[in-house]
Amino acid sequence: MLDSITDMLNRIRNGQAVLKEAVSVPYSNINYEIAKILEENKFVGKIDKKGKKDKRLIDIDLKYEADSDNRQKKNPIITNIKRISKPGKRIYRGYNEIKMTTGSGGIVIVSTPKGLMTGKDARKKKLGGEVIAEIW
């Protein structure tokens, strides 16, 4: 697998499409940091590291909201995930060029010299960097 971030985002998207309770993704430091940001912003439920050494996984509990008309049907909290910077085409932005997401409640994940953070935090701290993904 070449791009673990895209793999993680696709597993979350596909898991929500079939209404899974949780998904497991291979552990990497960047995947864990992205999962923590998603948890802090209440896009996913609890995250948990499991396993040892080469067999480590991140378990991510997926969140849904109940449909107002039909209690059984669930709507995913995450309506869309878009990978911005890719291995073949890196996208870098200054702090004043980091745009806010379309619609309310979305976030942009940015890799800055101070670590991964949301676009809002990067703008506050006046830090630019690589735009990883957009979630809403």
In order along its 136 residues, the chain shows pLDDT tens digits of 679 999 999 999 999 999 999 999 999 999 999 999 999 999 999 999 999 988 999 999 999 987 766 666 688 999 999 999 999 999 999 999 998 765 668 999 999 999 999 999 999 999 999 999 999 9
Number of alpha carbons in the 13 Å side-chain half-sphere of residue 51: 12
- pLDDT of res. 104: 66
Residue 70 sits in the same domain as residue 133: no
Strands 107-112 and 115-118: antiparallel
Domain limits for position 19: 1-78
- pLDDT of res. 101: 64
Q: Which helix (H) or strand (E) holds 75?
A: strand 74-76
Residue 96 sits in the same domain as residue 71: no
Domain-terminating residue out of 57, 78, 99: 78
- pLDDT of res. 67: 72
- pLDDT of res. 11: 97
Taking Cα atoms as reference points, which of 2, 3, 55, 52 lies closest to residue 26? 55
- pLDDT of res. 45: 96
Which residues are paired to 116 by β-bridges? 111
- pLDDT of res. 54: 85
Residue 99 sits in the same domain as residue 113: yes
**Which one-letter amino acid corresponds to residue 136?**
W
Residue 63 sits in the same domain as residue 13: yes
Tokens of 45: 């439920």
Contact present, 84 and 97 (Cβ < 8 Å): no
- pLDDT of res. 66: 78
Contact present, 101 and 107 (Cβ < 8 Å): yes
